[in-house]
Each structure stands twice: as C-alpha cells, then as structure tokens.
Amino acid sequence: MGIPYYYSLRNLWTRKLTTGLTIAGMALVVFVFASLLMLAEGLRKTLVATGSYDNVVVIRKGSKSEVQSGVERGQASIVETLPEVAAGPDGQPLAAKELVVLISLPKRGSDKPSNVLIRGISATSLLLRPQVKITEGRMPRPGSSEIIAGTSIANRFRGGGMGESLHFGMRDWAVVGTFDAGSTGFSSEIWGDVDQLMQAFRRPVYSSVIFRMRDPSEFERIKRTIDNDPRLSLDVMREVRYYEEQSEAMARFLRILGMSLTAIFSLGAIIGAMITMYAAVANRTAEIGTLRALGFQRASILGAFVLESLFLGLLGGLAGLFFASFMQLLTISTVNFQTFSELAFSFTLTFRIIYQALLFSLFMGFIGGVLPAFRASRMKIIDALRAS
Amino acid sequence: MFLIRLLIKNAFRHKLRTALTVLGMTIAILAFGLLRTVISAWYAGVEASSANRLITRNAVSLVFFLPISYKDKIRQVEGVEGVSAANWFGGIYIEEKNFFANFAVEPQSYLDLVPEFVLPPDQKEAFLRDRKGAVAGRKLAEKYGWKISDPITLKGTIFPGNWDFTLQGIYTGRDKTVDESQFIFHWDYLNETVKKVLPRRADQAGFFIVGLKNPHLAAEVSTAIDAQFKNSLAETLTETEKAFQLSFISMTEAIVIVIRLVSFIIIVIIMAVVANTMAMTARERIGEYAILKALGFGAPYLAVLIFGESLFITSLGAALGIAATFPAARAFGNALGQFFPVFNVAPGTVYLDIAASLVVGTVAAVVPTVRAVRIRIADGLRRIG
Amino acid sequence: MENHRPPIVEIRNLSKSYRRGSQVVPVLEDISFDIREGEFLALMGPSGSGKSTLLNLIAGIDQADSGSIKVGGIEITTLSETELAHWRAFNIGFIFQFYNLIPVLTAVENVELPLLLTSLSKRERREHVEVALRVVGLADRMDYYPGQLSGGQQQRVAIARAVVTDPTLLVADEPTGDLDRVSAKEILDLMGRLNNESGKTIIMVTHDPRAAERAHLIKHLDKGVLNVSDPAPH
C-alpha cells in the first residue's frame, strides 16, 4: 500500500492561498475549454435538430444554400411529382416549394440591422417540420400579407412580435402568429405565403423544394433519378446533411478557436501547477526523506505528489465546470458567415463535455505535477533528511 | 541602486520558479497579443476603408440586386465624381475551403475609384483589354502560385457554371492595411454570360461604389442618392464604405465580444500564477523581511523590494512575449489568410501588453507585501529557527 | 550475560568517504564491531566524526563504499534500493532529532504510516497504533496534529511510530537534541524502558553525556575510527 490519499489532500488544504490561486488558474482554463465545447455543441444541436432525416432538400446545382439557389417552376413540379415522394393526409404529395430570401431588419433596443431569413411556405411546409409549433396566433392565410415569426425573431427584432408589423418588399406585413421551433434554426426565421412573397420580391423562381421520402432508405435512388434527369440541374441532399453543411465553416471556426485557445491557456495553468508543485516538493524535502526512511518506495513518493497535483487539477476542473454550467443561461446570436443569416444558439452542457473537461483538467494537473514529483522521488534519503 | 540590485538578485534566487513564471508571462502576453490582433484583423476592412467612397446597395438586403441603369442616375447626383458597378461573385476555386473574396467589377472605373490597389501600367492595360481577364492580390497569387497569364477557373455558386479567367495582373497594396487577397474580373463578362443562361438576372449590379468629390459631402450625397430611388421597385441604401464594413462586423459582434472577453481571461490566469509565485516567495523570505525590519528598514522599503521583484518578473516576461508576438502573428496570418487577409500587430496592442504586465505585476505583489509589512519582527525571526 | 546473546548487527571492514568538490574526505575507515540483541548502544563523538553516517549505514539509508553490514543475518549492503526500502519497513524504527512527523497527519495517522507498508488489516493497524501510543503515554492525544503538541510529545509520537512495527532495531539520531531537560529525561526514560522491558535493541547517536549514560555501551568515534568502547557506568 502506498502513502494515503489524505496526505496529498491535506497538504493542499494546508497551503490555502497557493492552492486557491493554482486552482483559480486551472478553473479559468477549464471554463474557457468547456464553454467553447458547449458553444460548438449548441451549434451542432441546433443544426442537427433543424434537419430531419426523412426530408430531402433540392436546390440549384452548385448553389450551396437556399438563399443562393433558384429552382424554376417547371423543375419544381417535376420534383414534386416524383413517385418516391410521400403522400400527405389529403393524398397530395408531401412536398413544399419554398422561397428563401434574406432581408435586413433592425434589432430591438440597439436598432442595429441584421440579416433575417424569410421563408415563403406552401401548405405542406408545416407538416414537413413537426418540430415547428405555433405558440400564439395562427398560420398566415394564403393570399394575404400575413406572416408568422420564430420566437427568436419575435423577441429580438423590432416589429417582429405578435400583433406588430414589418415593412419590406414595398408592403406592410402583419405578424399574425409566432412559432417555436425549439433549438432549431427555424426559430430564427419569418414565414409567409410563398406566392405573396414571390410577388413582393419579384422573384419568378422558387429557392428550394423540400419533400418527405416515402421510404428514407431510397435516398440514393432519388438522388440518382434527379441527377440523371437532363431537365433538372439540381443538387439533392438529405435535410440533416444540408443544415450540417450550412454551418461547417462556423463549426470549424469555433473548433479551431477553441482548440488553439485552450492549448495556449492550458500552458499557463500547467506552469502554474508546476510552480506550486515544485515549491511543495522543496518545502517538504525533510518529509520526503522521512517517508523514504520509513520504507516507502520511490514510486510511492512519486504517486503521492502526482496525486496531489491531480487533486489540484480535479478541483480546478470542478470549479471551472461549475461556472461554465451557468453559461447555459446564455444564447449567442450571430450571423453565420456561410449563409449571411442570423443564427441563435445556446451553450449546451452534455455529459461528454463534463467528462472531457474533467479529463482535461486531470491532464493539466498530471503534466504540471509529474516533473516535480520525479524530483521528489529521486532525492537521496540522507540529503533530504538533512534539509530539515 | 542597491535596492534594484537586491531585488533582481532576489528574483533569481529560485531560478526554476522564476524561469517558469517568466515563461508563463511570455505565453500569456503572446496569447493576449495574438487575440487582440485577431480583433483588429476583424476590423481591418473598416480601417482600410476610404472616407472618399460610398456604397449603394439594395435596401432590402445584400442578396437583392439593383438595376444597372441606376449607375447613370447616381452619376448625375451632385457631388459624385465616379461610379462603378460591382457584384459579389462568390466563386469557389477548386474546393470550398479555398475561400477568397471575388468580385465582378467594371474595370476602368473600379481601378480609378480604388487607388490603393497598385497595378503596374502594362498589367492594367492587359487587364482592361482582356474581357476574360482577372486581377488577383499579391498574397492570393502567392498562396496558389499563380503567375501572370495563368488560366484560373472558378465555380459559381450564385451564378451557376464554371467560369474561366486569365490572370492579367497582380496588385499590391498601397500600404499594409490593404487586403491583398481579393480577386476581381470584368463585370461585362459576367453579365454577357448571365444574359444567355439566366436572362431575368442580367443587367443587375450587387452594389455601386460611388466616388465623392469631397469627403465632407458624404451625408448629403447619400441622402440624395437614396431619395432618387425612394418608392421605386428597388429602393437603395447608401452609406460610407466604413459604415458598410461596420455593418458586416456588427453582425458577427457576438464572436468579437467572446474573443475580447477571452483575451482578458488569459491575463487573469497569469495573474493567479504570478501572484502564487510572489506569495510563495514572500512566505519563504518572511524571516529575512523580519531581519530587515529589525535592522530598521521600514515598510516602504519592503514594498519596493516585493513590488519591484514582481514587476521585474512580469516585465521580463512581457518583453519576451511582445518580441515573440510579431513572428507569431506573421505565422498565424499566413495560416489563417483566408479568414484574416490583413493580420498586423497594432501599436495599441503593444501598449495593452505593457499595461497588462504592469497590472499583473502590481496585483500579484499586493498580498505578499501586506503580509511582509504586517509581520511582527519576533514572529518573523522565529520562523527562521 | 549479554555476551552470550547472538550478535544482531555484524559490521566488518566498513569504509565510507564523501566527495567534497575534487577532494575525497574519508568518514569511516575500516570499522568492525558487533551489536548484540537487546543492546542499548550510544555512539558518541565530535561533529563530523562519522557517527551519524555509521548510524545511517546500519539503518540502510546510506551506501557504504566497502565492507559488510549484516543485520539479523541479512547482508544489507548488497540489497537493491527497492529491497532495502522493504527491509527498512520491517526492521528499522527511526527516531530523529527533529521528530520528522508529517505535519498534515494526526498522531494516530503518523504512527499508522509505517503499518501501511505491512499487510495488516485496518482494524489490526488501529489496534497496534493504540497500543504504541499508550506505551508512550499519549493515548489522550491521538487525534492531535504535530503542531498542537509540545516538542517532547512530538518525540514520543515519533517513538511510537518507530516501535509500532516491532522492528529489529531502533535507531535514534540525537533524539534529545531539540528538547528541554525535562522532556529529554522523559524521552530517555521511555527509551530505557523499551530496552529493559521490551528488549528492544537501540542504537543512539548523541553528544549529550546525560543521554549516553542511559546506554549499556558507549562507542566513541573520532575521525572515522572507532577507538574506545566503554562499558556503561552503571
């Protein structure tokens, strides 16, 4: 049996100021680490939840996003009538021809303009997105200048709330309802009748066609059919994949930022732990000699000091996670630089992040403590005893 | 003088600890400097924008275009010197990850309005003559190894199809704030092709660049332009180039705020590390401080000794960190060229570095100094024995 | 009577020198002697005479240059470092001048420490610790930290730690060197009792003649040579 764990723990407790400062440094690093992971996770969750595996998005070849896309009316009809499209409750194909444009609207409070995505919807659009729920008011009547706004638009943009109105496309549009789409991207959209919006924006073509597959496993076949049809110059994607690609650059940016920041910051915290542990070893030289004289092996001494440093890391990790968990109350809204449209997502804490953050903090503790611990274990007994 | 020698000697008594603390400080200042540089790179477009130019675009949003016929109407507005039509092309070079800004522009008027793009006369000549000609910035050409007269193909995202160009010129920036990674080509080439494939989208410009006779007229001219098109099918929004650039940044403000915040966290982390070092050092020397007090040295003397040592360590680390920031920023700028075409360390960043090191050094010395000053001589002496 | 007991420590031709810079300073030169079981031996001599070095060599925490040390029949100069540590845990009880208790552990935990190297169960360890603390008269201070105890009390905890494993040898390096006269007398009484009543073999380095008086045998070291061996005055 080795040196008891409470030896390591109590030594930390004895040097409260030093231990506290070291833990504070580590906690901040873990806080940054966890927060950035939470941000990336929030973004991922938002986009994954936005798409549905059974749905297919069809846009113009090479256009990358609905905003840049244009699907001619004739092409849209061909897609809509494909036999692989599922049928709705009324027997009609479960497909929606939609228009997507960006408009810039001023935010509440700051009045700063930001780009908002407006989606012209068909009768089936809501059926295709079961995650969208009307929370207040009603759906816009076809043929009217009525719109409904996602919760994050209603809350954050001027004129976006229930009963208010927005001006664009040389018309005033009454907000007759708000909808909640949970943590999906739809919550940052405005929906209105597709024909009215096409008139208002003088767009003769649709942006995209969305449909539900009769059999989700048929996707490859559908894709081949559309790719091989010379009349259609269209890209076909599963909806989940489409939304994933929409934020690839953003996700990559967050990942690079997160990884490089934590790498650099952790160097600082590791150095902090190293300074602390070297001092701990120097101050306890005589103790180390005594323990060795009593018959404890070098490995036990090494273990005790590494354990002490691991405790430091763990405490830092727990403190950092504690503060990072409050970040869940925050929602970040920014413009996705791939689509130029506003996207809101929140910090999301998962068990995976908790475990990664704790592992990371233990890693910092270990790296910070291992060299000092080696120094402690390699002392000659009589030299160490003489240090008293 | 004696004091300074003593505090420097003190700083090096624990060589390993001091070295580690200085290293930590160096890393922190380096990280801080790089993060501040990322922020200034974010604003580089704003810095580089000319007070002499306005941007006119569709009031609805950037994805809506304006009729090319607006150009002549804008030119007639009082105070306007020149107008050039341009389109954001959004082309992809081979793969999506090779992102760079590419625009279709009216070559003659554009180059006249953008004098910060310096192009040798013969190359300019060749570019103007070649309908499929293109001009790339120096950094961009270096990145992909392009030479004059190389063929370049971009894949259109907004305008479908593959677009072939011939590189006729490589521009350099007039100064180092200029983005040298843009790609421009003939608006006519774009328009003629679009006319054939997508006739309803022909004869449209994404935005107009408007040159002013006098920068003081910016507000009046903007209002005059927008008034002309009020209540038309395509209303315009005209603002200075600076405001136009700022509107892009304000959309990604959340990210800038995060980076700004995080840049201060590293300073707080290193503050904890240096404070820890000073606390340990002072605790070990409490006996010596008691002896100094017994010899008649007062509290100010001890304060100078501890603050001096702390500041010496942080300044040393900061000096190394600042020195390392410049080569690191160059490497970083090369690696992230597509996100940040302009990546220079601003003088303001260096001042902030220095301020941060002073704050860290001072804060770290407070608690140890208070302890050293408060220690009763008898207690301090006992601790030695 | 003692002469008929078998020797528990046999030292033969032991030499040890230190290197100070480029100079080699001899500390012990060709020393040979035996210590019998139940002996209470005091090693005396001026500073630098090598008495502590000799003690450290017998206790297995320092390495000799040449010669042999057998303790309980085991040749310890050829043991590897790991074997030596294991050997110390079972055979040597240390008493130091500055007690060398672990400040973050209570009296009980300090005494329990060497037992952690044995295979005793938690309950057995607790029993041994309580017995040891009772022997040194500190049964009422079990949960005190060293900082809450006087010097003499700390040294008694250290003695409890030394005897708790029932080692072959007790080695004490200036055990009274840091104590006032009253506490020193208590410690020496305790060591005498351990020797007389429990038959512990004790080797003690000291330069305090009052401490040496308690020993049966005093050996003087001077400049690395063992010159006289006096019988105890009483």
Query: Rounded to a whole number, what is the distance in Å from the CA of C26 to chain A's nearest CA?
Result: 17
- Going by beta carbons, is chain B in contact with chain A, meaning 3 or more pairs sit under 8 Å apart? yes
Residue A100 contacts residue A116 (beta carbons within 8 Å): no
Domain membership of residue C211 as a residue range = 38-64+80-231
Residue A334 contacts residue A247 (beta carbons within 8 Å): no
Measured distance CA(A175)–CA(B243) in Å, rounded: 30
> What local confidence, expressed as pLDDT, does residue B1 receive?
66
Measured distance CA(B169)–CA(B110) in Å, rounded: 14
Mean pLDDT of A368-380: 92
Query: Rounded to a whole number, what is the distance in Å from the CA of A320 to chain C's nearest CA?
Result: 27
Q: Which amino acid, residue C184?
A: A
Residues 271-290 of A with CB under 8 A from C: 286-287, 289-290
Closest Cβ opposite residue A382 in set C61, C105, C161: C61
- Give the H or E element holding residue B292: helix B286-294
For residue A269, which of A305, A326, A319, A324 has the smallest C-alpha distance?
A319
Residue C197 contacts residue C182 (beta carbons within 8 Å): no
Q: Which amino acid, residue B141?
A: A
The count of CB pairs under 8 A between chains A and B is 144
Closest Cβ opposite residue A14 in set C59, C104, C116: C104
Mean pLDDT of B213-227: 90
Cβ pair C100:A381 closer than 8 A: no
Q: Judge whether C69 lies within some domain.
A: no
- Going by beta carbons, is chain A in contact with chain C, meaning 3 or more pairs sit under 8 Å apart? yes
> What local confidence, expressed as pLDDT, does residue B300 receive?
87
Q: Judge whether C53 lies within some domain.
A: yes
Which SS3 state, helix, strand or coil, does residue B319 take?
helix
A17-49 pLDDT per residue, tens: 889 999 999 999 999 999 988 988 888 888 777
B355-382 pLDDT per residue, tens: 999 999 999 999 889 988 887 777 766 6
Place of tokens 């330069």: C207
Please indicate if any CB of chain C lies within 8 Å of the CB of A378: no
For chain C, what is the domain count? 1
Closest Cβ opposite residue C89 in set A2, A286, A295: A295
Cβ pair B279:A18 closer than 8 A: yes
Q: Which of B155, B197, B235, B251 to mutate to test the interface with A (most CBs of A within 10 A)?
A: B251
Q: Judge whether C75 lies within some domain.
A: no
Q: Which amino acid, residue A202?
A: R
Q: Judge whether C20 lies within some domain.
A: no
Please indicate if any CB of chain B lies within 8 Å of the CB of A382: no
Q: Check residues B384 and B49 and name the one with the higher pLDDT.
A: B49
CA angle (A68 as vertex; A64, A71 as ends), nearest 5? 95
- Cβ-Cβ contacts under 8 Å for A249 (sequence gap 6 or more): A337, A338, B99
Task: Return the half-sphere exposure (C-beta side, CA atoms, 13 A cut-off) of residue B165.
Answer: 32
> What local confidence, expressed as pLDDT, does residue B381 receive?
67
Cβ pair A265:B255 closer than 8 A: no
Query: Rounded to a whole number, what is the distance in Å from the CA of A362 to chain C's nearest CA?
Result: 23
Measured distance CA(A111)–CA(C126) in Å, rounded: 73
Cβ pair A278:B200 closer than 8 A: no
Within a 10 A sphere around the Cβ of C98, how many other Cβ atoms? Answer: 17
Mean pLDDT of B62-83: 90
Q: Check residues A62 and A41 and name the one with the higher pLDDT.
A: A41
Strands A146-150 and C66-71: unpaired
Measured distance CA(B59)–CA(A382) in Å, rounded: 83
A263-308 pLDDT per residue, tens: 888 998 999 899 989 988 988 899 999 999 999 999 999 999 999 9
Cβ pair B276:A275 closer than 8 A: yes
What is the reported pTM?
Answer: 0.81
Cβ pair B273:A268 closer than 8 A: yes
Q: Judge whether C220 lies within some domain.
A: yes
Measured distance CA(C26)–CA(C16) in Å, rounded: 6
CATH value at residue C206: 3.40.50.300
Phi, psi (deg, nearest 5) at residue C28: -125, 135
Query: Rounded to a whole number, what is the distance in Å from the CA of C102 to chain A's nearest CA?
Result: 6
Cβ pair B272:A61 closer than 8 A: no
Pull the structure tokens for residue B92. Answer: 């992809």
Residue B222 contacts residue B77 (beta carbons within 8 Å): no
Residues 312-371 of A with CB under 8 A from B: 332-335, 337, 340, 342
Contacts of A297 in chain C (CB under 8 A): 82, 85-86
Contacts of B252 in chain A (CB under 8 A): 334-335, 337
- Asked if pLDDT for residue B22 goes beyond 90, the answer is yes
Distances (CA, A) of B156 to A105, B86, B93, B193, B228: 28, 16, 9, 12, 33
Within a 10 A sphere around the Cβ of B227, how many other Cβ atoms? Answer: 12
Which of the other chains make 3 or more beta carbon contacts under 8 angstroms with chain A? B, C
Q: Check residues A182 and A60 and name the one with the higher pLDDT.
A: A60
> What local confidence, expressed as pLDDT, does residue C233 receive?
46
The count of CB pairs under 8 A between chains A and C is 72
